[in-house]
Amino acid sequence: MVQETHVSAANLIFPLFIVDGENQKTEVASMPGIYRYSIDNLLREVESCMKLGLTSFDLFPNIEEALKDKLATESHREGSLYLRAISQVKKEFPEACIITDVAMDPYSSDGHDGIVENGEILNDETLEVLGKMALAHAQSGADIIAPSDMMDGRVGYIRRVLDENGFKHVSIMSYSAKYASAFYGPFRDALNSAPKFGDKKGYQMNPANQREALIEARLDEAEGADFLMVKPALPYLDVIKLLKDSTELPIAAYNVSGEYAMIKAAIQNGWLNEQRAITEVLLSIRRAGATAILTYHAKEVLENKWL
């Protein structure tokens, strides 16, 4: 039969969680099969993925509470866990594509993506921190910077900082349509990054809105984004399709932690066929128009030869 859409290793990006220490590999309780790795084990995990043809990785750090502060200074400190992880992966696997997450939340004592003052997010002051973070990532060897915070003007700001410092070749994958979603819960467990008060509705999008995604996407494109991302994926396939039809830029979709947890829980209960359910999810995201899929299923689908 003729088949319109396929998923291959080249479409997949694997999110990986990093934790400090040595020889650490701890499973995330709400994400069976997904672990937090210390750098030594991270390198071995990247190696086994590379052997499967999976070469793109998005790194996320779990930061000790004691290192967090209101300005997320740990996010751009020389010698930090995250910067060491980027440079060691790049050194050992120069052909790997390393995507880095630019957002304050894992490093913020408030658990927010921006600087908070009197309960308000300070957008412009936050941009300065994001610029420092993006530059530190590029200097450590990042190939693609992924701002995931939804502050206004961040793509243009980061593009300028990168260009002025000789990193014109480093791309930006912008979280353009990031919804204030219930499906990020397991990720916040993995990183211990849940907001300490309030929620993220002030800067993430309202799940009821579709056309607002177009406005956000056009701004990001005008500011110099190289990829536009929609997140989460499954509850927002219409948004993926909308952006696909309205831009020439490649679309990425983030099949987030809660989507993974939901599928795994049903599989563990024997309620779904694992191979069929997972491949159908990935196909549907491709069919909606995503070129790249960030998914916690990336390694297992290749290991099991399900694609």
DSSP 304: T
Q: How many residues bind ligand PBG (CB under 6 A)?
A: 12
Which is catalytic among the residues 178, 200, 244, 264? 178
Distance CA(236)–CA(231), nearest Å, equals 7
Q: Which 3 state secondary structure label does DSSP give 98?
A: strand
231 is catalytic: yes
Q: Are 158 and 172 in contact (CB under 8 A)?
A: yes
- Taking the complex as a whole, the smallest distance from the CB of residue 294 to ligand PBG amounts, in Å, to 8
* Of residues 40-99, those binding ligand PBG (CB under 6 A): none
The 10 Å Cβ neighbour count of residue 159 is: 23
Give the residue among 122, 129, 125, 121 at the shortest CA–CA distance from 158.
129
184 binds ligand PBG per the rule CB under 6 A: yes
From the list 5-13, 180-188, 268-276, 279-287, the region that binds ligand PBG by CB under 6 A is 180-188
Q: Which single residue is written with the structure tokens 């694997």?
A: 14
236 binds ligand PBG per the rule CB under 6 A: no
> Interface mask (CB under 6 A) for ligand PBG, residues 199-228, using x and -?
-x----------------------------
CA dihedral 67, 40, 96, 128 (to 10 degrees): 10
* Of residues 148-177, those binding ligand PBG (CB under 6 A): 148-149
261 binds ligand PBG per the rule CB under 6 A: no
Give the residue among 195, 208, 204, 217 at the shortest CA–CA distance from 151.
204
- Taking the complex as a whole, the smallest distance from the CB of residue 3 to ligand PBG amounts, in Å, to 28
> What are residue 12's phi and psi, to 5 degrees?
-100, 140
The 10 Å Cβ neighbour count of residue 213 is: 23
For ligand PBG, the closer CB: 29 or 273: 29
For ligand PBG, the closer CB: 103 or 170: 103
Give the residue among 105, 14, 29 at the shortest CA–CA distance from 62.
105
From the list 19-27, 40-48, 182-190, 211-219, the region that binds ligand PBG by CB under 6 A is 182-190
105 binds ligand PBG per the rule CB under 6 A: yes
178 is catalytic: yes
Polymer length of the chain:
307
Which is catalytic among the residues 132, 200, 231, 244? 231
Q: Is the peptide bond before 250 cis (omega within 30 degrees of 0)?
A: no
For ligand PBG, the closer CB: 159 or 231: 231
Give me the active site residues, please.
178, 231
Positions that interact with ligand PBG (CB under 6 A): 101, 103, 105, 113, 148-149, 184, 187-188, 200, 256-257
